[in-house]
Chains A and B, each alone.
Chain A
Amino acid sequence: MFSYCTDPSTLEGLTWLSCYLTTGKHMGFYFSFVTVIVLLLITAPVALLFGFAGASAARSRFLPLSLLGKTYTAIVRGVPDIAFFMFFVIALDQAFEYLRHKVKCPDWSEPIRQGNDFVVCTQAKLPLSTSPQWIHETYGFALAVLTFSIVFGAFAANVLYGAMRAVPRAQLETAEAYGMTTRQTFWRILVPQMWIYALPGLSNLWMILVKATPLLFLLGVEDIVYWARELGATKTARFSDYPHGNWHAIYFFGLLVFYLMLTSVSERIFKRITQRLSHGQATAAGEAQRKAAQ
């Protein structure tokens, strides 16, 4: 990166470090932090959406819909994450390719399953094998977002389902007495009030999601843990200009600091949201706020 970095073996101290920390490999490492944060920022709202849909479905008076919502939460919550991430994603990818294959290559005569192999026509590949690497990476990232959302959506559905039932029955009854329809009661009374009951569960889920991001590497996305493992590994002078011993401890300590900072910032944000949502609620926190304001 810097002009003096051409021969690192002659460098020492801070100059060496400045060269070492700006190698292409380290740039990949820094970029992976962005990847993780972007993943979190996209996954959280999408998972919440899945959760909301799941919870609303489970509450539905229409039996098939309520069964669908309940099955989704029950099955996804029961399957171990690692199994889900290893097999579900491959299955999902194959399902997409299978559908594209049926549409794009109707004349294809060979079977799609040949022994262990999964073979679709070239045009049905997703992404096409001719596409540049970044498209493959984006596709992998999108699959990761979808998988994380499905898994965490199931947990969120259960949390929201519980929260919807925690809203005092008197509130809903009053709404009905005013002549609101079921739909109006749901959107105007139930949904605005349920968040305060859902928040502790949702903040737990967020923390677990933050810690689950290293599963990204199972999906072929290079995350911070992958790079820390790779960069911290022993480097010999034959294959690297910056030979060093096993530096895993240093890199993992860096990750520890990053994760702790991330969780502590989230903790503070959740605290503020709780305060806002407690306002005017028939809960102990809401009552305390009312008294303080008097």
Chain B
Amino acid sequence: MKKLILSTAALAVTAGFALAQSGDTVRLGTEGAYAPWNFVNDAGEIDGFERELGDELCKRAELTCEWVKNEWDTIIPNLVSGNYDAIIAGMSITDERDEVIDFTQPYTPPDPSAYLAMSADVDPAAGIVAAQATTIQAAFVAEQGWTVVEFPTPEETIAAVKSGEADAVLADKSFLDTMVGSDGLVMLERMEAIGGGVGMGLRESDGELRDTFDAAIQSMKDDGSLNELIAKWEVASQF
């Protein structure tokens, strides 16, 4: 009985939190340069898988959401200093990042990263690999002891391969899928299983908001709408 009362009290408290949050404005930070995850469309607005996902999550959590563009390099410092409240930018959940910020449960399963090169017989271990700075891919290449060149934007990593500055580019497969075939770029057969799925990043002190988004992601997982969204934008494998 005592247990029952306690859990009712706990429930009431959580309900109270949920109520306090409803209608609040939450600012979502994204990069806007990583199709199909997030990009700027012809009208100049943020679009893509994460735009739709974020809007739907906010609807379910009854939050008013505002989108903010921020460079990838400074996306975590600006979150912890409070310029926006959540990162939703195709950010893989890693231990290093988890020390600085908190993550929700992943909204896409862990997917392998792929290579793109000008010919199919390139060996990444022997050549120069391009990757976006401070990504799991850049960390991976450095860890292997291969030669890595880092660029601030995904677009520049592709341009480096086309210009011959790098032999291959390592990135999320879904992003590279949008680039295959342009100017003779081909995908290598080799894949790397890195990263632990993609989640939303939040301040460590913001536990409430994390629980709210966690619950919203769970409800989208449960009714299958998350899988539909993943299929629509071809960002990852499904749950």
Q: Hey, which bits of chain A sit against chain B, CB under 8 A?
A: 23-25, 27-28, 86, 90, 93-94, 97, 114-120, 125, 129-130, 133, 136, 217-218, 220, 222, 229-230, 233-234, 236, 238-242, 245-246, 248
Contact = CB atoms under 8 A, between A and B. Distances in A.
Given A129-B85, A229-B153, A230-B33, A245 B182 contact: yes
Contacts of B47: 239
Contacts of B191: none
Given A25-B44, A117-B203, A239-B47, A129 B80 contact: no
Nearest to B35: A239
Interface in B49-86: 66, 68-71, 74, 77-78, 80-83, 85
Contacts of B80: 116-118
A10 to B, nearest CB: 16
Contacts of B36: 238-239
Contacts of A118: 80-82
Given A117-B206, A133-B68, A245-B183, 19 more contacts: A23-B42, A23-B44, A24-B42, A93-B83, A94-B81, A116-B100, A116-B101, A117-B203, A119-B203, A218-B74, A220-B69, A229-B155, A230-B32, A230-B33, A234-B158, A238-B35, A239-B36, A242-B42, A248-B159
Q: Identify the 3 closest CB pairs spanning chains A and B, nearest first.
A: A24-B43, A24-B44, A25-B44
Given A90-B77, A115-B205, A117-B203, A240 B83 contact: no
A35 to B, nearest CB: 14
A218 B70 CA distance: 9
B178 A239 contact: yes
A129 B44 contact: no
B165 interface: no
Interface residues of B, number: 45
Contacts of A218: 71, 74
Interface string B105-122: 000000000000000000
B41 interface: yes
A130 B203 contact: no
Contact of A240 (B42, B155, B179): B42
A223 to B, nearest CB: 12
Contacts of A129: 24-27, 66, 85
Contact of A119 (B82, B155, B182): B82
B83 A239 contact: no
Contact of B205 (A117, A220, A245): A117
Given A229-B153, A234-B155, A222 B82 contact: no
Interface in B177-225: 178-179, 182-183, 203-206
Given A24-B45, A239-B178, A116 B204 contact: yes
